[in-house]
A and B are shown apart, each in its own frame.
Chain A
Amino acid sequence: MAQEFTPKVVTANALIEGDVVYLTAADTWARDLAQAEVLTDEADAQYRLLQAQARVDEIVGAYLADVRPGLNGPEPTHFREDFRRKGPSNLFHGKQADSLNHA
């Protein structure tokens, strides 16, 4: 039996800033995972990934990352994605700090 498809988001790094971005349902790039479009269908996910990869003057290295539903939108299932969404653990830099500035 084929493995069940787990929910995914399209993620990449922004071309200029280099920071982590997520594809939203409105075809924009969000800095916050909570705003990402959650893809639950495999064919749909592949299609959205191809669309994202074509946006070469906005982002670098788009790929599908596993997520699970949470209270405030999708949550990462792997610790690497958890670090990507927050920033480094040794210094209060990256998204964890930026989100305060933008809040």
Chain B
Amino acid sequence: MYQYNDFDTAFIAERNRQFRAQVERRIAGNLTEDEFRPLRLMNGLYLQLHAYMLRVAIPYGSLDPAKLRQLAYLAERWDKGYGHFTTRTNIQYNWPQLRDVPDMLDALAEVGMHAIQTSGNTIRNVTSDHFAGAAADEIEDPRPVAELVRQWSTDHPEFQFLPRKFKIAVIASDSDRAVMKSHDIGLKIVERDGARGFEVWVGGGMGRTPMVAKLLRDFLPRADLLPYLEAVLATYNRIGRRDNKYKARIKITVHENGLDEIRALVEEEFPRRRAAFSGVDQAWLARINAAFVTPTLSERDAAPYYAARDADPVFRAWADTNVTAHKHADHGIVTISLKAHGETPGDASADQMRLVADLAERYGHNDIRASHAQNLVLPHVALADIPAVHAALKSLGLATGNIGLASDIIACPGMDYCALATARSIPVAQGIATRLEELKIEHEVGHLQIKISGCINACGHHHVGHIGILGLDRAGVENYQITLGGDPSETTAIGTRTGPGFAYDEIVPAIERVIFAYLDLREGPEETFLEAYNRLGMAPFKSALYDQEARAHAAE
């Protein structure tokens, strides 16, 4: 795990000192809200429906026990005892008071954390694979590159006022667990002729105009990364649409100018940028690499794990969904579900956070990840220790065995918290998960990703949900559109709308009809929902959604 050096520490302290003074001037009436707003947003502080919201960056989703315990402390000391993990692997506090925020930021600085560039038209928190360093299929740990990008992009003077926000993801395996192609820039570490470099993908995004990223460069030499990123950002900064907020993301710049034109402009800019890099960034990267050594995993007899699987069907069912193969065969990657049926997706209480920190310390080599799917991960646990981890998780309601299943739902905060939302999303997620639990069908249904957004900005990733749900305000009433066939994996696809939306009290039964239609139509349990949809197309699902509804109305 990267630890702040003296420069980082001094930089954060200075930013926090500045922000404390800005808050004091705002409260004293010496700054107007128009003057203060950009300053608070630069430090991750939003004003939402019911209160301020502080969004804290968790770079590439990596935490250690000290950091997670401090996040728990913030939740108890200045919030209502919980935090909300987001689809950008950040954590949000929903109830801070303005005068407390400088103290919260100082408390974060104590453990090497901050809320800088979690808002605004800047390069946001760099995300990565939540299984980084543990996944059997990666060619290297992608997080050192993510950390290099974080350091380069933090307070980068040229890129503080971009046309719009800018999101970068880094992965290093063929499996895409980071929704890389839905980012403004997606980097995939690849190998060619024995040398490591990057595939550079550009112009992905969700929002009101969802687009899958396009391949800008199929092999970028490793040492060219930062100058090349600068060339892309500088090109976007110059020709991105500042006249229209809805056309300001780089996906529109790429779409309007064409990939070839963007590539030509980037390549033209690149030599100037390259010349300005002396190679010091590669020296930094070498130092960063040293901080991301995969822990030395001792050989452990996995027999207790298999014995527990045989003895305890509850443990076996949980392990089937929540434990993933580790590159070290007698270890496993444990995903901790923050999706207990009927609870708010992504919420964790202070007690739960402390328990996860304790487990990471005792069994998990001090390593914890937040995933974009709003769960937590212990990436390095000996199989032999997993029964003990499961037992501890059970004690605080963290042992839900549903990772990758239909109740492992991504949901944005929606109109329960967010000032931009047009409808609620959390209660829809709660309703679907509760219904699935009543029906006891989700293990039979298998892999199914439902993603819910409460407005067109698509923080809930609905465009890439196998089933996507978008909450809108239709003539003063909440209305929910359904999309099918989205895919967040390496075969990224944008879902297709089924047709007219459903009212708040109709959306859970509608999703239930789609799921039962799939069970009726699939060729067997081995055919997933997405595979069945891709084979059958929209028609049978549309029929299940709308014809039955018509019949039900006719029968009334």
Contact = CB atoms under 8 A, between A and B. Distances in A.
Interface of A: 13, 15-20, 56-57, 60-61, 77-80, 83-84, 87-91, 93-95
Contact of B52 (A18, A57, A80, A87): A18
Contact of B50 (A15, A18, A61, A79): A18
Contacts of B427: 89-90
Given A16-B98, A20-B50, A88-B50, A79 B476 contact: yes
Contacts of B555: none
Interface of B: 26-29, 32-33, 47-52, 80, 94-99, 344, 415-417, 424, 426-427, 430, 473, 476-478
A19 B51 CA distance: 5
Given A57-B28, A87-B50, A94-B50, A18 B98 contact: yes
Nearest to A17: B97
A42 B416 CA distance: 30
Contacts of B49: 20, 80, 83-84
A88 B478 CA distance: 15
A90 B454 CA distance: 14
Nearest 7 interchain pairs by C-beta = A57-B29, A88-B416, A18-B51, A18-B52, A90-B426, A94-B50, A90-B344
27 contacts: A13-B47, A15-B26, A15-B27, A16-B99, A17-B51, A17-B97, A17-B98, A18-B47, A18-B50, A18-B96, A18-B97, A57-B29, A61-B33, A61-B47, A79-B415, A79-B478, A80-B49, A83-B415, A83-B416, A84-B50, A88-B94, A88-B417, A89-B424, A89-B427, A90-B344, A90-B427, A95-B50
A20 B419 CA distance: 12
**Most A-side CB within 10 Å, residue of B49, B94, B426:** B49
B47 A19 contact: no
A16 B102 CA distance: 13
A interface, by DSSP: helix, strand, loop or mixed?
Answer: loop
A62 to B, nearest CB: 10
Given A20-B50, A61-B47, 15 more contacts: A13-B47, A15-B98, A18-B47, A18-B52, A19-B50, A20-B49, A57-B28, A80-B49, A83-B415, A84-B49, A87-B50, A88-B50, A89-B416, A89-B426, A94-B50
Nearest to A79: B478
A94 B98 CA distance: 16
A65 to B, nearest CB: 12
Which of A13, A20, A78: most chain B Cβ within 10 A? A13
Contacts of B51: 13, 17-19, 94
B33 A56 contact: yes
A74 B38 CA distance: 34
A63 B531 CA distance: 49
A93 to B, nearest CB: 6
Contacts of B99: 16
B204 to A, nearest CB: 30
A77 B473 CA distance: 13
A60 B33 contact: yes
Contacts of B473: 79-80
A66 to B, nearest CB: 10
Contacts of B26: 15
B476 A78 contact: yes
Nearest to A91: B344
A84 B49 CA distance: 6
Contact of B416 (A19, A77, A78, A90): A90
Contacts of A93: 50, 80, 94-95
B29 A56 contact: yes
A17 B29 CA distance: 15
A57 B33 CA distance: 9
Nearest to A97: B80
Contacts of A91: 80, 344
A79 to B, nearest CB: 6
Contacts of A87: 50
Contacts of A83: 49, 415-416, 424
Nearest to A59: B33
Contact of A16 (B27, B32, B80): B27
A90 B345 CA distance: 10
Contacts of B426: 88-90
A15 B37 CA distance: 12
A13 B96 CA distance: 13
A37 B52 CA distance: 25
A19 to B, nearest CB: 6
Nearest to B26: A15
A52 to B, nearest CB: 13
A91 B49 CA distance: 14
A55 to B, nearest CB: 10
A93 B97 CA distance: 14
A57 B27 contact: yes
Contacts of A13: 47, 51
Contacts of B29: 56-57
A81 to B, nearest CB: 10
Contacts of B477: 79
Contacts of B28: 57
B495 to A, nearest CB: 25
Contacts of A18: 47-48, 50-52, 96-98
Nearest to B98: A16
Contacts of B96: 18
Nearest to B48: A18
